[in-house]
Amino acid sequence: MERFVTLVVGLCFLLVGNGFDVAVSSPTEQQPYRTAYHFQPPKNWMNGPMYYKGIYHLFYQANPHGAVWGNISWGHSISYDLVNWVHLDYAIYPSEPYDINGCWSGSVTILSGGNPAILYTGINFENNQVQNLAVPRNLSDPFLKEWVKSPYNPLMTPLGGIDPKQYRDPTTAWLGPDKVWRAIIGSQINGHGTALLYHSKTFFNWTRGENPLHFSNKTGMWECPDFYPVSISVKNGLDTSVQGRDIKHVLKASFSDHDYYVIGKYDVQTDKYIVDFDFMDSGEQFRYDYGIFYASKTFYDSAKKRRILWGWVTEADSQSDDINKGWAGLQSFPRSILLDKSGRQLVQWPVEEVEKLRTKQVNLHNKELKGGSVHEISGVTASQADVEISFELSNLKEAEFIHANLVDPQVLCSQRKASTKGTIGPFGLLVLASKDLTEQTAISFQIFKGLKKYNVLMCSDQSRSSLREGVDKTTFGAFVDVDPSREKISLRSLIDHSIVESFGGEGRTCMTARVYPKLAIDKEAHLYAFNNGSQSVTITSLTAWSMKKAQIAPL
Ligand SMILES: *[C@@H]1O[C@H](CO)[C@@H](O)[C@H](O)[C@H]1NC(C)=O
Ligand SMILES: *[C@@H]1O[C@H](CO)[C@@H](O)[C@H](O)[C@H]1NC(C)=O
Ligand SMILES: *[C@@H]1O[C@H](CO)[C@@H](O)[C@H](O)[C@H]1NC(C)=O
Ligand SMILES: *[C@@H]1O[C@H](CO)[C@@H](O)[C@H](O)[C@H]1NC(C)=O
Ligand SMILES: *[C@@H]1O[C@H](CO)[C@@H](O)[C@H](O)[C@H]1NC(C)=O
């Protein structure tokens, strides 16, 4: 197996590899952290996913020529089911003056005639960032293996005071009733995050609007922006160009290591976007994921009428560990994304196709967990599992008081780790745990009484996840918008050797962790439910499944 080196530069992707060799899995004795059903190209990070004539396409960044950073190109993999993947040859690579120093991130748009088109950032001969177009060479090729660059490239250049080094990641374009396409580009003005808005009738000739679609002077540079409609009334995803009354628009921007989003009303006539709560404006700060998750992108799946989110999940071990492993980074499991019924936030859930991988199942119902107890869930492969659990609480009035507006939930989680006894909670799952619990990753909830309502804190505690040194064991935390006096507290976790993706409150709060146990590997991994509060809690239902390995390999 050949090695590749990963260099994460402070941009929204930039990992490098040297071909597909590393995608071939090696024995788990040597590769205890390699995942079985999460997409791992040799190289990672997202460009633009799309669905076209029965096939899902995933594009990602790679260096075809070497183990160092350079020649950044678009890797290309395809799937019929979002679970099993085939790696194809590179779709786009540096070849022209306008992209000779790299083909960076971008997005796919399905044009009016149904044909796909890629807008991507090229790093030109002057090391400036410009936007380019590529289209499939042969639309009869079902895999769309070859892409050709437009003779009109570059289509957009950093004119009029735009910083040529901070001008990248064009979004999927949307079409107005005026038959004009719109797309946004991540940038900064006076150091502040900005989504520059462009218009085009032809898709070749783009002009920048007088005003950006949105900006925030409370953030820095925006990378990998995403802009799409969500429905207030139906539980479907919407195609990117859909406008209408029962629709709100989500703007996502990647900055400060996280993917933040705002929700607002977009008027396609005026191109004005009015947000409900702005980035960094109040206590209402929403992230797609409160763990490791960046540079994500959504696409519309017209076959199943859903919008699907992919995020890039980096490693939490050291770069020398990555060189030894021969790989670094992976994709979150694709998630369908909808507006919550509250209208205030989004909800995410692993796409249903993940259920194809479920095999052996165990169930548990109405099991009381007394304060301080641990209950093993045996009978599933705990290193490769899908777990759904829900809890019912009594004695809520005993909950401790907090001023939720005055605390940072992540800080609260690191002060109140799973190893600290509470009143109502911490309770939840111990995943990738060794038999003796020396190693364990706790995904847990604690209930606090606030001024007006109960506050449900969700934590992912990595502090005891590995006996290994030199691994980032930061604790993650966020509140979940559920009312424990009316609703059960639910948790779903996708466990896959070195990644734990958790969905609290039916997907209202998501947290992805990377963990590298030394003991709790493969068959030595165990799964437990636990309660470390003084009050007992009841597991109303638990279902856990062993998961099969997905087929992810070169053609
Ligand atoms: C980029 O590709 C060219 C060949 O096209 C190769 O000569 C060069 O070494 C590559 N650079 C890097 C940094 O991989
Ligand atoms: C286009 O793709 C189809 C299907 O793979 C193939 O039969 C045809 O020969 C291709 N055309 C060209 C010009 O490559
Ligand atoms: C490009 O679009 C602008 C604005 O619509 C128009 O003024 C200009 O003539 C167009 N250029 C070309 C080459 O079509
Ligand atoms: C942010 O920008 C707005 C509009 O330009 C301006 O009114 C406001 O003073 C700025 N705030 C800060 C904190 O810079
Ligand atoms: C529960 O709390 C005790 C006391 O802090 C601690 O020793 C124990 O490890 C905790 N249990 C779990 C499962 O974390």
Site to substitute for ligand 1 among 4, 9, 69, 71, most atoms within 8 A of C-beta: 71
Asked if residue 426 has a cis previous peptide bond (ω within 30° of 0), the answer is yes
- In this model, does residue 162 exceed pLDDT 70? yes
- Average the pLDDT over 145-157 and give the result: 98
Q: Give residue 47's pLDDT.
A: 59
Q: Give residue 41's pLDDT.
A: 66
Q: Distance from CA of residue 272 to its chain's centroid?
A: 27
Which residue, 34, 60, 59, 23, is CA-closest to 45? 60
End-to-end CA distance of the chain: 17
User: Residue 201 C-alpha to ligand 3 middle, in angstroms?
Assistant: 9
Residue nearest ligand 3's atom 10 by CA:
205
> Checking DSSP bridges between strand 384-393 and strand 489-496, what pairing results, if any?
antiparallel
- Average the pLDDT over 379-386 and give the result: 98
Distance from C-alpha of 22 to C-alpha of 20, rounded to nearest angstrom: 5
- Which amino acid, one-letter code, is at 65? H
Answer positive or negative: Cα dihedral of 155, 160, 165, 166: negative
CB 174 within 8 A of CB 151: no
What phi and psi values does residue 321 have, to the nearest 5 degrees? -60, -40
- In this model, does residue 44 exceed pLDDT 90? no
Distances (CA, A) of 194 to 121, 181, 197, 250, 251: 16, 19, 9, 15, 11
Site to substitute for ligand 2 among 137, 138, 144, 148, most atoms within 8 A of C-beta: 138
User: Residue 272 C-alpha to ligand 3 middle, in angstroms?
Assistant: 23
DSSP-derived 3-state class of residue 230: strand
| Residues 6 or more apart whose Cβ sits within 8 Å of residue 493 | 385, 386, 387, 429, 431, 443, 500, 501, 502, 503
Q: Give residue 417's pLDDT.
A: 87
Q: How confident is the model at residue 120 (pLDDT cuts 50, 70, 90)?
A: very high
Distance from C-alpha of 473 to C-alpha of 516, rounded to nearest angstrom: 10
HEC readout, 292-320 = CCEEEEEEEECCCCEEEEEEEECCCCCHH
Residue nearest ligand 2's atom 14 by CA:
138
- Average the pLDDT over 102-110 and give the result: 95
- Average the pLDDT over 448-461 and give the result: 96
Site to substitute for ligand 5 among 436, 532, 534, 535, most atoms within 8 A of C-beta: 532
Distance from C-alpha of 478 to C-alpha of 408, rounded to nearest angstrom: 8
Q: Give residue 69's pLDDT.
A: 59
Q: Distance from CA of residue 157 to its chain's centroid?
A: 29
CB 224 within 8 A of CB 49: no
Q: Which stretch of 56-65, 404-413, 442-451, 539-548 has the lowest confidence by average pLDDT?
A: 56-65
Q: Give residue 283's pLDDT.
A: 67
Q: Give residue 12's pLDDT.
A: 36
Q: How confident is the model at residue 341 (pLDDT cuts 50, 70, 90)?
A: very high
Q: Give residue 327's pLDDT.
A: 75
- Average the pLDDT over 48-67 and give the result: 81
Which protein residues are within 6 Å of ligand 5, measured from CB? Answer: 374, 418-421, 530, 532
How many Cβ atoms from other residues are within 10 Å of residue 128's Cβ? 18
Write the pLDDT tens digit of every residue in 487-530: 999 999 999 999 999 999 999 999 999 999 999 999 999 999 99
Q: Give residue 66's pLDDT.
A: 54
User: Residue 548 C-alpha to ligand 5 middle, in angstroms?
Assistant: 32
Distance from C-alpha of 254 to C-alpha of 501, rounded to nearest angstrom: 19
- Average the pLDDT over 127-147 and give the result: 97
Which residue, 62, 292, 273, 54, is CA-closest to 174? 273
Q: Distance from CA of residue 38 to its chain's centroid?
A: 12
- Average the pLDDT over 112-126 and give the result: 96
How many Cβ atoms from other residues are within 10 Å of residue 454's Cβ? 18
Q: Give residue 288's pLDDT.
A: 98
Site to substitute for ligand 2 among 53, 140, 555, most atoms within 8 A of C-beta: 140
Q: Give residue 68's pLDDT.
A: 52
Nearest atom (ligand 5) to Cα of 372: 1
Query: Using alpha carbons only, what angle is made at residue 306 by residues 303 and 307, rounded to the nearest 5 degrees?
Result: 120
Distance from C-alpha of 62 to C-alpha of 5, rounded to nearest angstrom: 11
- With a 6 Å cutoff on the Cβ, whether 138 touches ligand 2 is yes
Q: Give residue 319's pLDDT.
A: 79
Q: Give residue 394's pLDDT.
A: 87
Ligand nearest to the CA of 93: 1
Between 440 and 69, residue with greater pLDDT: 440
Nearest atom (ligand 1) to Cα of 65: 14
Which residue, 78, 85, 553, 550, is CA-closest to 355? 550
- Average the pLDDT over 293-317 and give the result: 94
Which protein residues are within 6 Å of ligand 3, measured from CB? Answer: 205, 207
Distance from C-alpha of 240 to C-alpha of 76, rounded to nearest angstrom: 22
Residue nearest ligand 3's atom 9 by CA:
205
Residue nearest ligand 1's atom 3 by CA:
65
- Average the pLDDT over 415-441 and give the result: 95
- In this model, does residue 92 exceed pLDDT 50? yes
User: Residue 176 C-alpha to ligand 1 middle, in angstroms?
Assistant: 41
User: Residue 175 C-alpha to ligand 3 middle, in angstroms?
Assistant: 17
Site to substitute for ligand 3 among 152, 197, 207, 210, most atoms within 8 A of C-beta: 207
- Which amino acid, one-letter code, is at 444? S
Q: How confident is the model at residue 399 (pLDDT cuts 50, 70, 90)?
A: very high
- In this model, does residue 231 exceed pLDDT 70? yes
| Residues 6 or more apart whose Cβ sits within 8 Å of residue 113 | none
Residue 541 token pair? 């239902």
Helices vs strands, H then E, count in the chain? 2, 38
Between 4 and 211, residue with greater pLDDT: 211
Q: Give residue 262's pLDDT.
A: 97
Q: Give residue 375's pLDDT.
A: 98
Distance from C-alpha of 500 to C-alpha of 383, rounded to nearest angstrom: 10
Asked if residue 229 has a cis previous peptide bond (ω within 30° of 0), the answer is no
CB 387 within 8 A of CB 544: yes
pTM: 0.92
- With a 6 Å cutoff on the Cβ, whether 483 touches ligand 2 is no
Complete DSSP assignment for 505-526: GGGTEEEEEE---SSS-GGG-E
